[in-house]
């Protein structure tokens, strides 16, 4: 494991070298920790640079930012800071800490500690790994809990029996990592997980925190596997509402997981969609308005996400209209443009066997969505129009004509606008 850091790319190695040198000047020990170390050992890419400082992380981050003239942000209430390195790499700094839980599910009480304390407070042995980055003892791996052995044996193992009770969001994390890496939650940890579920551990955690982990689960490459596992363990209760037609949802999720990557490449290159939202839409497809609202409130979902999810509910009506024998580009545009890209992707999965529907949806994304007029409301006011409503209607009509190829140049737009303006 000696050359672990040499597996990192040159840019990251230089960043770590700078951090190590400045830490030495200040007489503090620094380590790269967590997911990046785990993934280095697994030979997987990871750009999450989490640094643990045996000392004050904020003054350390400040010293680096000042020396290297970099932007930085500090979060005093959490004792953490982020430095943004020249190519945009964000490096998070945290003080090594020792944690204790006042009661199950609570946010932990935190005091400064050693790297060993800091590793002990973590979720699983495979995440409790650190590599020293000071020039002296550079690259030394700290593996107090046999994380490397567990990585090799493809095992998810908790650090102590209370782990899932202290922080029940780890139930979802264990399942997520298990399915992501194709590992197995080892027997004793699984018993502890089941025990926590039988004690209704999720009820001790703020729903927002659970949802944050659930969102991460849905952001993985194949979330249907995790959901299946959650279902078999009885770990989906946290939703508060029973999922309807889960097996049908899992089938659709599987379809989406296979097409998601090529779809992002083909249709959303410059504007990536949030895949978790599409998976979520699939899961709540059969929910009525009341149940959906209960979920929104319970997990305090952001308004922008609520609106996107709610827009997927108009899906079946839109799909029906989209099946019409003849549709002009502007008609396709008017049907699809009120929906979020995620909701349309959801429809595309629903309509996968219907070639015309898929083609129309793809045309919308590739050819119609970006069409814009070169004139705007101010131009119409200059032509003598004053009512906002009429301005909107005229612009919409000219856009439709442009989409349908009846108008192409700016001059034609202006001419058309003037004609429509005098028509009253």
139 makes contact with ligand CTP (CB under 6 A): no
Residue 384, Ramachandran bin (φ over 0: left; ψ between -120 and 50: alpha; else beta): left
167 makes contact with ligand CTP (CB under 6 A): yes
If residue 383 lies in a helix (H) or strand (E), which one and from where to where?
A: none
Binding segment for ligand CTP among 163-171, 187-195, 246-254, 269-277 (CB under 6 A)? 163-171
113 makes contact with ligand CTP (CB under 6 A): no
Please report how close the Cβ of residue 387 comes to ligand CTP at its closest, in angstroms.
Answer: 52
Gap between the Cα atoms of 151 and 183, Å rounded: 9
Please report how close the Cβ of residue 286 comes to ligand CTP at its closest, in angstroms.
Answer: 29
Checking DSSP bridges between strand 29-33 and strand 49-54, what pairing results, if any? antiparallel
- Residue 265, burial from CB neighbour count under 10 angstroms (0-12, 13-18, 19+): exposed
89 makes contact with ligand CTP (CB under 6 A): no
Residue 137, Ramachandran bin (φ over 0: left; ψ between -120 and 50: alpha; else beta): left
Binding segment for ligand CTP among 149-157, 168-176, 250-258, 339-347 (CB under 6 A)? 168-176
45/411 with CB nearer ligand CTP: 45
Size of the site for ligand CTP (CB under 6 A): 10
What does the block give as tokens for 124?
């699983």
Cβ atoms < 10 Å from Cβ of 241: 15
35 makes contact with ligand CTP (CB under 6 A): yes
Binding segment for ligand CTP among 84-92, 167-175, 341-349, 396-404 (CB under 6 A)? 167-175
127 makes contact with ligand CTP (CB under 6 A): yes
CA-CA-CA-CA torsion for 405, 410, 411, 415, nearest 10 degrees?
A: 70
What does the block give as tokens for 93?
């700094």
Helices 207-218 & 223-233, crossing angle to 10 degrees?
130
147 makes contact with ligand CTP (CB under 6 A): no
Per-residue contact flags (x/-) with ligand CTP for residues 170 to 209, judged by CB under 6 A: x--x------------------------------------
CA-CA-CA-CA torsion for 185, 189, 193, 194, nearest 10 degrees?
A: 90
104 makes contact with ligand CTP (CB under 6 A): no
Please report how close the Cβ of residue 215 comes to ligand CTP at its closest, in angstroms.
Answer: 11
Gap between the Cα atoms of 17 and 77, Å rounded: 28
Gap between the Cα atoms of 182 and 176, Å rounded: 10
48 makes contact with ligand CTP (CB under 6 A): yes
> Where do contacts with ligand CTP occur on this chain (CB under 6 A)?
34-35, 48, 122-123, 127, 167, 169-170, 173
């Amino acid at each position: 494991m000696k050359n672990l850091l040499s597996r990192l790319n040159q840019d990251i190695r230089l960043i770590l070298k700078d951090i190590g040198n400045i830490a030495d000047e200040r007489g503090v020990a620094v380590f790269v920790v967590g997911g990046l170390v785990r993934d280095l050992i697994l030979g997987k890419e990871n750009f999450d640079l989490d640094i643990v400082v045996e000392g004050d992380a904020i003054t350390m981050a400040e010293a680096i930012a000042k020396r290297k003239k970099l932007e930085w942000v500090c979060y005093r209430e959490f004792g953490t800071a982020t430095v943004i390195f020249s190519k945009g790499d964000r490096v998070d700094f945290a003080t090594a800490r020792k944690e204790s839980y006042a009661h199950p599910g609570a946010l932990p009480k935190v005091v400064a500690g050693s790297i060993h304390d800091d590793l002990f407070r973590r979720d699983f042995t495979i995440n409790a790994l650190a590599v020293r980055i000071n020039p002296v003892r550079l690259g030394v791996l700290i593996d107090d809990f046999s994380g490397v052995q567990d990585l090799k044996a493809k095992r998810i193992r908790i650090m102590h029996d209370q782990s899932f009770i202290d922080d029940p969001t780890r139930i979802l994390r264990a399942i997520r990592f298990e399915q992501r890496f194709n590992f197995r939650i080892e027997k004793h940890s699984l018993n502890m997980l089941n025990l926590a579920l039988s004690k209704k551990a999720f009820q001790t955690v703020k729903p927002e925190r659970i949802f944050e982990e659930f969102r991460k689960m849905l952001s993985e490459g194949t979330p249907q596997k995790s959901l299946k596992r959650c279902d078999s363990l009885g770990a989906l209760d946290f939703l508060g509402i029973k999922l309807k037609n889960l097996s049908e949802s899992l089938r659709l999720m599987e379809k989406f997981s296979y097409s998601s990557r090529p779809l992002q490449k083909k249709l959303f290159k410059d504007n990536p969609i949030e895949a978790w939202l599409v998976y979520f839409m699939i899961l709540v497809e059969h929910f009525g308005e009341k149940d959906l609202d209960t979920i929104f409130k319970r997990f305090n979902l952001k308004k922008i996400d609520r609106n996107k999810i709610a827009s997927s509910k108009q899906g079946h009506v839109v799909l029906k209209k989209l099946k019409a024998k003849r549709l002009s580009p502007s008609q396709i545009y008017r049907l699809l443009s009120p929906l979020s890209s995620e909701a349309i992707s959801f429809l595309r999965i629903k309509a996968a066997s219907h070639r015309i529907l898929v083609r129309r949806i793809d045309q919308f994304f590739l050819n119609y969505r970006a069409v814009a007029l070169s004139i705007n409301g101010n131009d119409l006011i200059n032509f003598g129009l004053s009512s906002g409503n009429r301005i909107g209607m005229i612009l919409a009509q000219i856009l439709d004509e442009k989409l349908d190829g009846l108008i192409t140049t700016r001059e034609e737009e202006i001419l058309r606008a003037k004609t429509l303006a005098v028509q009253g």
